[in-house]
Amino acid sequence: MDRDLSQTQSSAGASVTVAFIDLAGFSAIADVYGDAAAIDVLEIFESMVREALSGYEPPIKWIGDEAMLSFPEPEVAIQALGALLQA
């Protein structure tokens, strides 16, 4: 991700837009249904995020139930994240 961010910044000569997303309530899923169910939920979440962002293909850094995404411009981030909210 660091390499992707620096390449994006140096190639565009401008800053990047970074977004963070989080799967709310994830700890409760693991606590109530166990680790296997939690892993299944994470896989589904990751698949939904990747599908919703298809066509934008931002670099994504996954950290458990959270993800950090980078976009070359704020307008692209707004469009991509709008698509994600509709998923």
Q: Which helix (H) or strand (E) holds 17?
A: strand 17-22
pLDDT of residue 12: 54
pLDDT of residue 15: 81
β-sheet bridge partners, residue 22: 66
Q: Which helix (H) or strand (E) holds 18?
A: strand 17-22
Q: Which helix (H) or strand (E) holds 63?
A: strand 60-63
Task: Give tens-digit pLDDT for 22-55.
Answer: 999 999 999 999 999 999 999 999 999 999 899 8
Put simply, whether the predicted model's pTM sits higher than 0.75 gets the answer no
Q: What is the CATH number of domain 2-86?
A: 3.30.70.270
Mean pLDDT to the nearest integer, 67-72 = 93
Distance CA 41, CA 73 (A): 30
Mean pLDDT to the nearest integer, 67-83 = 92
3-state secondary structure of 11: helix
pLDDT at 2 over 80: no
Q: How far apart are the two ends of the chain, measured CA to CA in Å?
A: 24
